[in-house]
Amino acid sequence: MKKLIVTALIFFLLYSVSFAEDAIKLPDPVKTGGMPVLEAISNRQSAGDFADVELTPEQLSTLLWAAGGVNRENGKLTYPTASNVQDIIIFAFTKSGVYRYNPAEHSITKVADGDHRALTGTPRQAFVARAAVDLLFIQDTGKWPEGRPADVVLNCGFAHAGLSMQNVYLFAAFQGWGARTRMNFDREKLKELLGLTDKHNFTLMQCVGPKP
C-alpha cells in the first residue's frame, strides 16, 4: 500500500512540474506613464509594413496585458465584455512560436513551435510574416450560457475582439509602432495548427510591432 501511495505521489509531482513548465510567466506589464490618451487616439492608424524584429519579454508582456489582461482585483479585463463573459482567446504568433495568452496568470503557453506568422494572412499580405507579433482573436462560444441566440453570441465575439484591438492600436501608437487589423486568413489551417473545435469562432487578426 505504501509503495502504491509513493508511486502515486511521484506521478503527481512529475505531472505538476510538467504542467507548471507549460506556462511561461511574463514580466509585470508597464501600467503607468506614456502618451496622453487623446494624443494616442490622434496617432492611431493602420500600418502598411513592419520591421522583422522580435519584441522583448517586457514589450510582449505589456502588449498582451493591454490587449486583454486583468486590470482589477475582481478579475475583469482591460476591455469590456457583455455580462463579463470573457470569451476571447488571444493567440500571439511570433518568430519563435505560437503562444496562448492566459490573462488570469499573466502568462503564455506555447501551442506550436516555429514561425507560423505567414499563415496569418494571404500570399498578397507579405507583411504579416514580418510583423513582430500577429494576434489572433478567437471567441470561445462555449463560455456562453445555453439558450442565448447564436447571432447575439457571435456579434458579441466580434465586438469584444474589436474592443481589445483598439487597446492594441493605442498601445502601438504610444510605442511608435504599427498595427493593422485583418480578416483574410486560412481558417482551416489555423484551426488544425491550434487544435480548435467548432465551438471556436474566428473573429479578427491584428499585426503589431515596430515599423521599418
Q: What is the pTM of this model?
A: 0.88
Distance CA 64, CA 107 (A): 9
pLDDT on residue 7 = 41
Question: How many residues in total does the chain contain?
Answer: 212
Residue 15: is its pLDDT beyond 70?
A: no
| Residue in 118, 121, 116, 111 with CA at minimum distance from that of residue 182 | 121
DSSP reduced 3-state for 23? strand
Architecture of domain 24-209: 3-Layer(aba) Sandwich (3.40)
Domain ranges of the chain: 24-209
pLDDT on residue 22 = 84
Distance CA 134, CA 128 (A): 7
Show the cell assigned to 172: 502601438
CB within 8 Å of 69: residues ≥ 6 apart: 29, 77, 78, 101, 103, 106
pLDDT on residue 132 = 98
CB within 8 Å of 190: residues ≥ 6 apart: 119, 120, 136, 196, 202
pLDDT tens-digit profile of 137-179?
999 999 999 999 999 999 999 999 999 999 999 999 999 999 9
DSSP reduced 3-state for 65? helix
Sheet of 88-93, strands arranged across: 23-25, 107-113, 97-102, 88-93, 133-140, 200-209, 178-182
pLDDT average, residue stretch 184-190:
94
Phi/psi for 139 (5° steps) reads: -90, 125
Helices 150-175 and 57-68 pack at an angle, to 10 degrees, of: 140
pLDDT on residue 57 = 97
Distance CA 199, CA 206 (A): 21
